Amino acid sequence: MNDTPAVNDAPAPAKKRRRKSGTNGRLYRRPNSAFWWLAITNNHGRVKRESTGETNRRQAEDKLRAKRDLYGAERIGKAVVPDSEVKKRTVKSLLDALLAKLELKGVKSLKQIRSHVGHIERAFGNWPVLDLTEDAIQHYVAERVKKGHAPGQHQSQSPTARPSDHRLPDEERVPRAAHREAPGSQCP
């Protein structure tokens, strides 16, 4: 007989336990805390841990489910989940970054821009960027107008602004030849 073991007699390889990716999240308790905490992996592969603010497990599970749904919506492009750095960013920090960039570029109207930025900074400087809404800006403009300041107009809203392609309709265009001076005449 043959002393070599048959192929089928070899021990089966040990099954590797597959570790869950954590995208479903989990609830846990922290020492010295009455609340349930959640840990969930965001779409960028980072584990986010935060308090649910709930002492009841079922309510904490609802918070975890909502967070999971939010990350799912972000994954398919239906929502944006700001990270903690974006949540902490203030209007003042963005204005400072803008001024620094304009200064590096050597913008000639920097003095005037600083003046405008100063008004905005006094009104919204400490606001988190995510809290700044169109309604808040409209309210700010209305208050400035009440104080006698002229409302700011975007160039496209100005009644004298030309269309964005800077071309007049054919009937309003003046032929190029009409702009030329007669030979030998001098422009004032």
Asked whether residue 68 falls in the same domain as residue 50, the answer is yes
Please name the amino acid found at residue 161: A
| Cα–Cα distance measured from residue 188 to residue 184, given in angstroms and rounded to the nearest whole number | 13
| Cα–Cα distance measured from residue 110 to residue 183, given in angstroms and rounded to the nearest whole number | 42
Q: Tell me the H-state helices in the chain.
A: 57-75, 84-88, 91-105, 110-124, 134-146, 176-179
Is residue 6, in this structure, part of any structural domain at all? no
E strand or H helix at 26, and its extent? Answer: strand 26-29
Asked whether residue 62 falls in the same domain as residue 94, the answer is no
* C-beta separation of 37 from 49 below 8 A: yes
| Cα–Cα distance measured from residue 177 to residue 188, given in angstroms and rounded to the nearest whole number | 19
24-47: b (≥16 Cβ within 10 Å) or e: ebebeeeeeeeebbbebbbeeeee
Q: Is the pLDDT of residue 181 over 50?
A: no
Is residue 172, in this structure, part of any structural domain at all? no
Predicted confidence (pLDDT) per residue in 10-54, tens digit? 666 666 665 555 568 999 999 999 999 999 988 888 888 999 999
pLDDT grade for 166, boundaries at 50, 70 and 90: very low
Last residue of a domain, one of 81, 99, 118: 81
Residue 123: give the domain boundaries: 88-150
pLDDT (0 to 100) of residue 51: 94
* C-beta separation of 60 from 54 below 8 A: yes
pTM, rounded to two decimals: 0.44
pLDDT grade for 188, boundaries at 50, 70 and 90: very low
| Cα–Cα distance measured from residue 29 to residue 54, given in angstroms and rounded to the nearest whole number | 11
Is residue 31, in this structure, part of any structural domain at all? yes
Q: Is the pLDDT of residue 140 over 70?
A: yes
Residue 35 φ/ψ, nearest 5 degrees: -95, 155
Asked whether residue 93 falls in the same domain as residue 76, the answer is no
Provide the number of structural domains found in the chain: 2
Predicted confidence (pLDDT) per residue in 63-97, tens digit? 999 999 988 888 888 777 776 667 778 899 989 99
Is residue 16, in this structure, part of any structural domain at all? no
* Mean pLDDT along residues 97-111: 91
Asked whether residue 144 falls in the same domain as residue 104, the answer is yes
On average, the pLDDT of the chain sits at 76
> Which structure tokens are listed for 92?
């003042």
Asked whether residue 36 falls in the same domain as residue 60, the answer is yes
pLDDT (0 to 100) of residue 30: 94
